[in-house]
Amino acid sequence: MTTDNQAVHRMTCRVLYGDTDAGGVVYNANYLRYFEQGRTEMMRERVCSYRDIEKLGIVLPVTECFVRYKSPAFYDDLLIIETTIAELHTYTCKFTYRILRQDEGRTRPTLLTRGYTINAAITRAGKLTKLPDHITTALHRLLGKETPPPPTKELD
């Protein structure tokens, strides 16, 4: 599901019983799974599937992540996962996320979690690599840039 703002991808996801802990709330690490769902579906709808990228011999593991918890989610909540691409570099891309819940009687959704991941493009042998031009071009369009900037060296 997409929005008028093509930079933001939105999808919904129902909280399953197995996503919750003994206290009945979504277990903290599961928000990273929701981030992955948002990222995977955004890529599939806007760029290409991860399976297509893997066929090129490239994988995109998470090299850094951050999660800020604002309010809990519970079993059977319908979550809204918002995903954007925030930065694109030679070997890495940064995705940002917001997870919200539309509560009855409220006009605006409740922000539950926000965060980001940085994903690096590597070969199956574990070597940093550049993404193919058609993928970086599509990602730059999502950033609102038509032409990619010149290559830079980054990766602290």
Looking at the annotation, which residues are catalytic? 21
Measured CA to CA, the distance from residue 120 to residue 58 in angstroms comes to: 10
Residue 101 has, within 13 A of its CA and on its CB side, a CA count of 17
What residues contact 69, with CB distance under 8 A and at least 6 apart?
Answer: 28, 31, 112, 113
Positions of E strands within 3-151: 9-14, 58-59, 62-69, 78-88, 92-101, 110-120, 122-123
